[in-house]
Structure 1
Amino acid sequence: MIFFDSASTTPLHPEVLKTYVYILENYFANSDALYDYALKSSSLMEQSREQIASMLKVKDNEIFFTSGASESNNMLIKGISFAYQHKGKHLITSAVEHSSVMGAFKQLEEYFGFEVTYLPVNSKGVVECEQLKKALRPDTILVSIMSVNNEVGSINDLKALSKIVKTYSHAFFHSDCTQSLAKMEIPMECLDAASFSAHKIYGCKGSGFLYKKVNIQLLPLINGGQQEEGLRGGTSNHPCNIVLAKTLRLAMEKMDEHRQKVAQLNDLLRRELNRMDDIIINSPEDATPYILNFSCTCMTSEIMLNALNERQIYVSAQSTCHSKTKSVSEVLLAMGIGQKRASQAIRISFSYLNTEEEVIEFIRNLKEILNEYRIK
């Protein structure tokens, strides 16, 4: 088996699994109960929050545990919009955001009377500062632009974009940092809020957190409890929350080492793909090394995915959140890549667990599939 879909998810780190099982077995009590056994669970969870905050160089009361980045995105985008709508109902995002961000903005637009500006991206898939500057208005209350695109790996300049927001408006600046956590430096000092997920960095699925500055008010989306300062009611998933700090620490300790290895795999694959006549690379040269998107110009994504799947090589065509739809990538279309080429796209996303041998084996199989298709 060759797994080249790590932008979708990653395996659980053995050390995280070990700690997770220990917590499940030894600290199962509800962390909001008041007896000593439960208070230990609560204490461990708060230690995790403090450690996460320390690693990101933020305050511990700015970290809120969630079920993942999709919830974090919704919690922040809708929470701010509802809380500050008396100041304005204009919102800004980009045309290439993750479906959880796009869905939140579409719902605010269609059902709650907000006006949303969807910024275009250039041929590299990034938002240009001038476009953002033109879109800002006195009634803009929130700008949300992703850090790293999950389909092509384009990297937005968050520092520059944040400077535009802060210079020309009173809006809050949020970023979906799912694909950049523990893979590159994130300028937290430039962000008012950011969303993160654990299962992209060898942690538990259904686990993540939201960073939000203390001065920002949110209208809760889930009522019914005191958890997370009253912003997220419901019994805390304390085992996942407790091991999240360890997940992040293990990933950040090896961030540079892992990035270097992945960059070598990316370079190898790029070189081999560039030698092939029927391949066009869609990811920009300066994209994250963890993602490489390309199109096979002689066959559709669906045919290629099925052929690779039969050989136990697992890749994707676009974001996994769109994997069951027949539509082509909105990201590629927004970059100016035509409908046909977008329908032929394949996304490779690497992990430090991948090897050069796997890349070479992938190329061998890719060539065989293309040759067999041509003969047919």
Structure 2
Amino acid sequence: MRITIVAGARPNFIKIAPIIKAIEKKQDNGALVSYRLVHTGQHYDKNLSDTFFEELNIPFPNANLEVKSGSQAEQTAAIMIAFEKELLNHPTDLVLVVGDVNSTMACAIVAKKLNIKVCHVEAGIRSGDMTMPEEINRIVTDSITDYFFTTSIWAGENLIKTGVDPLNIHFVGNVMIDTLYQNLDRITPPSFWEEYKLEKENYVILTLHRPSNVDQEHELVQLLKGIDALVQDKKIVFPIHPRTKAILGESNFDFKNIIMVEPQGYLNFMYLIKNSFAVISDSGGISEETTVLGIPCFTMRNSTERPETISIGTNTLVGTSIIQLRKSYTEFIQNGIRKAGIPDLWDGCASERIIDLLLTK
């Protein structure tokens, strides 16, 4: 079996790493399976791209389509044009896409139009928020996928509601957690750990990048001021996304607790998460990692495509206003972390299940 694996953005790299390891393990055992890794270039900042290949021991891509940024339509179109040429020049039996970025949807469409089977890892997750480009990417990708690999029973139920044959849905677990478990003994403190006198649980991690939170400079600054005041004696480590940094510009803000740093590589960032007091974020993936690590997470969104991180894990959905965040964070300070667990099959073996199943197709 020839598999073309697509990666385009930071979360993709984390998800493909254990899949590649699972394929290589099968190759070592004599299985007739090969892969070709295609990086679309959707994320092209070194800290959001190349660093992850190096740290996670992922082979550098066989091809980099170098599409870079643009509007949603421009980027999607550029990926489709470049990926069609890639598949015509390098025939494959299966295209494997992960997650919900533009690369996921664009490459799935191209593959199906060339009559190539599509496998979607992390299929079936839904936020219900059609203002999110990722939600549209999920729906379109799942509408043309052949093999669906899910992180939860709930995701499988979403697919069945849309008419997907249950025989094509496979609940395998979470490849993000595979990567976490494979690298926990390798995580290291960032270079600024000593400089800012960081210690276990004396800081909160903050990440913001979604348009609803960062697109308007005034609202963003007010939100940051509210968070700055909220944590009292804790420091706030804020790895600032290029998108957010561009909106804030070169202005200097007098924050008491917020420490703005560059985007972090995986090993440094997981060290920061594991040793933090709590996390405030608008990311979906981080709520999965905090759930497994037992770190309280406050997600600044109105909906989530990962409800298991709330019903089972350590995540709390707080909307996009400082008011609800303040209420939930204060309750946490008063009552401590609520009882939580780890979702089924988030055990570090999802990637092996995926490759085992694909080799039976």
User: What TM bracket, shorter-length normalisation?
Assistant: 0.3 to 0.5
Name which structure has the greater RCO, CA cutoff 8 Å, separation 6+.
Answer: 1
Scaled by the length of structure 2, the TM-score of the pair is 0.34
Q: TM-score when scaled to structure 1?
A: 0.33
The structure number with the bigger radius of gyration is: 1
